Amino acid sequence: MSVRDTLLRTARRAALACVGLILAAAPLGASAADALRNPSPAPSASPRVPVASLDPEAQAAVLGPLRAAAGAVDGIGRGALAAVYGGVTIDADARRVDVWLTDTSRAPDLLDLARVRDPGLVTGQVVVHRAAVPLVTLDRASRAAMALRVRGEDAPYAAHPADDASGVVLEVARPARWSGVAGPEGVPLTVVAGTPRQPHDWDAVKWHDSAPFIGGDVLTPDGKRYCTAGLPAVRRSDGRAVMVTAAHCFAQGQRVRTGAGATWDYGNGRTGHHVGTVTALNRTWDAETLVGADDNADESDTSGWKPLTSVAYSYRGDYVCHSGAKSAAKGHPTPCGIKVTDDDLWFREGGHDVRGVEGVDVHGWGSVGGDSGGTVFAVEPHGERQLRGMVSSGGDDGTADQRRVDWPEAVDVFRAFQLKLNPTT
C-alpha cells in the first residue's frame, strides 16, 4: 500500500469517527469515497418552507429525490449490509436522509452500493448515525415483544424499533406495571403509554362504481357493513385481476359488491355491482383478495381518477395520502399530509398481530371507521401516484388520536399473495 493510500485510509477513518459531518455533505449521486476526499460545502442555513405546509404536488418535488435515496439505501441495508443496518429516515425539512449503521466504517460501502443499485439516482444529503442494534434484530425483537404479558394487563398495543435503532418501543395501557420486563434477545425495551388501534371498517366511500374497479371504491357484502377497495392488482401466475382490501372486512368465501341506492346512504341494506369473492386472507398483513371483476391501477381522488404507476415502501419522515371510505362521506375525500412516524410497526387488531406502518396527519383529520382497505399512496410529479398500502386501522374517531393512520405496505402484501400492480391504468 502506498503512503498516499495509507493517508487516505487514515483520513477516511478519522472522518467516519465524526459521524454525520463529512457524510452529511456527501450526495448519494457521487462516489462515497470521492465525497470523503472532496466534501461539498456545508448546507445553507437559510430557512426553508416546512414541507408539511406545502400542497401535495409541491411536496412531491421535494420528496422525490429523498424517497429515491431512502429506497436505494434501504434496499442495500436490508440485503448486503443487513448485519450492520439500523434503518433510514427522511428528514424532509432538512432535505436529507438519515441512515443508522452499527458499524459506521461501512458507510462508504453502503453509499457506493446504493449508487450501483440506481446509477441515475439524484438525491440530497445522506447522513450516517451510529446504531446500537441492527434492524434485523430489532424486527425479531419487536415481533417477540408483542407476545410479552404482565399479570392483570392487556396484551401490548404495538411494538416497533426505536427511531435511532437503540432498542424496541412497546406501547401498553399502563407502563408502570411493566417495570422490569426485559426485552427479547437482550434488546433494550422502552415501555410507553399507548392506545389501541381501531379497525376502520363500517361506512362507505365512492359509492356507485362499476368494473373496472379502482382503489377507493366502496365495498359491502350486504349493504350494512362497509370497507374500501385498496390495491388494484393482477396475479403473477396468469394476469387475473385481483382487488385487495383489509382482512378484517369480510369473511372467506363472501361475495362483495359496491354500494347501491342514494350516494352515502350507507346501512340501507342494498348492494350494487359484484366486485369479487374473498379467496384468501393474510392476518399478518391484514389483507384479503377479491377475485371476480376487472380492476385498473387508479385511485379515486378528490378531482377524478389518478393513475397508480409504481409501488414502494414508506420511510419515516415521508408524507402520504389515502382514499378511505367514511372520510369521503364526511367531506374529506383525500386526506393528505400524513407524516410517516413508524415504518416498521407491529400492532394489535382484532386478536391478531399485524405488521405495517403508522403515520400522523399533520392537518388533524387522519382516518375514521369505514376507511379500512382504502388506498394509501404518495403524490408524485405530473399527476401520478405511488402505491404504498391500504388503511388498516387508526385512533378512535372523534378524539385527538384520530390523526393516526396504520397501514400494511403494498410491497409486502403483493409478495404474500404473489401479485403485482395492475399494469393497466
Per the structure, the count of domains in the chain is 3
Q: How far apart are CA 91 and CA 336, in angstroms?
A: 18
Q: How many helices (H) and strands (E) does the chain have?
A: 7, 25
pLDDT computed for residue 303 by the predictor: 65
* Domain-ending residue, one of 102, 130, 158: 130
Q: C-alpha grid cell for residue 292? A: 371476480
pLDDT computed for residue 382 by the predictor: 85
> Across the chain, what does the average pLDDT equal?
87
Q: Is the dihedral of CA 267, 269, 273, 278 positive or negative?
A: positive
Is the confidence at residue 145, as pLDDT, over 80? yes
Kindly state the average pLDDT of the residues 184-192: 97
pLDDT computed for residue 200 by the predictor: 74
Give yes or no: residues 208 and 171 share one domain. Answer: no
Q: How far apart are CA 132 and CA 187, in angstroms?
A: 9
Kindly state the average pLDDT of the residues 315-337: 92
Give yes or no: residues 274 and 386 share one domain. Answer: yes
| Strand 304-311 versus strand 385-390 pairing type | parallel
Q: How far apart are CA 174 and CA 393, in angstroms?
A: 22
Q: Which residue has the higher pLDDT, 8 or 306?
A: 306
Give yes or no: residues 79 and 162 share one domain. Answer: no
Give yes or no: residues 140 and 122 share one domain. Answer: no
pLDDT computed for residue 49 by the predictor: 87
Domain of residue 349, CATH code = 2.40.10.10
pLDDT computed for residue 53 by the predictor: 93
Q: Which residue has the higher pLDDT, 106 or 4?
A: 106
Kindly state the average pLDDT of the residues 210-222: 93
Kindly state the average pLDDT of the residues 213-232: 94
Residue 361 CA, chain-centre distance (Å), reads: 13
Q: Which residue has the cell 448515525?
A: 129
Q: Predicted confidence band at 351 (pLDDT cuts at 50, 70, 90)?
A: confident
Is the confidence at residue 195, as pLDDT, over 70? yes
Q: Predicted confidence band at 329 (pLDDT cuts at 50, 70, 90)?
A: confident
* Domain-ending residue, one of 108, 130, 152: 130
Kindly state the average pLDDT of the residues 98-120: 91
Q: Predicted confidence band at 201 (pLDDT cuts at 50, 70, 90)?
A: low
pLDDT computed for residue 333 by the predictor: 86
Q: Is the dihedral of CA 311, 314, 320, 324 positive or negative?
A: positive
Give yes or no: residues 306 and 236 share one domain. Answer: yes
Q: C-alpha grid cell for residue 123? A: 438525491
Is the confidence at residue 17, as pLDDT, over 80? no
* Domain-ending residue, one of 100, 130, 160: 130
Give yes or no: residues 415 and 399 share one domain. Answer: yes
Contacts of 94 (CB under 8 A, 6+ apart): 43, 125
pLDDT computed for residue 47 by the predictor: 58
Give yes or no: residues 82 and 185 share one domain. Answer: no
What are the CA-CA distances from residue 254 to residues 122, 206, 277, 289, 347 (Å)? 47, 21, 6, 11, 26
Give yes or no: residues 241 and 292 share one domain. Answer: yes
Least confident stretch, 64-68, 200-204, 229-233, 302-306: 200-204
Q: Predicted confidence band at 45 (pLDDT cuts at 50, 70, 90)?
A: very low
Is the confidence at residue 191, as pLDDT, over 90? yes
Q: Predicted confidence band at 358 (pLDDT cuts at 50, 70, 90)?
A: very high
Radius of gyration of the chain (CA): 22
Tell me which residue range forms the domain holding 357.
196-425
pLDDT computed for residue 198 by the predictor: 86
Condensed to tens digits (0 to 9), the pLDDT of residues 69-90 reads: 999 999 999 999 999 999 999 9
What 8-state DSSP symbol labels residue 194? -
Give yes or no: residues 227 and 81 share one domain. Answer: no
pLDDT computed for residue 124 by the predictor: 57
Q: Which residue has the cell 434496499?
A: 75
Give yes or no: residues 173 and 302 share one domain. Answer: no
Least confident stretch, 23-27, 126-130, 163-167, 175-179: 23-27
pLDDT computed for residue 43 by the predictor: 42
Whether 186 contacts 179, CB under 8 Å:
no
Amino acid at 300: S
Give yes or no: residues 70 and 183 share one domain. Answer: no
Give yes or no: residues 15 and 115 share one domain. Answer: yes
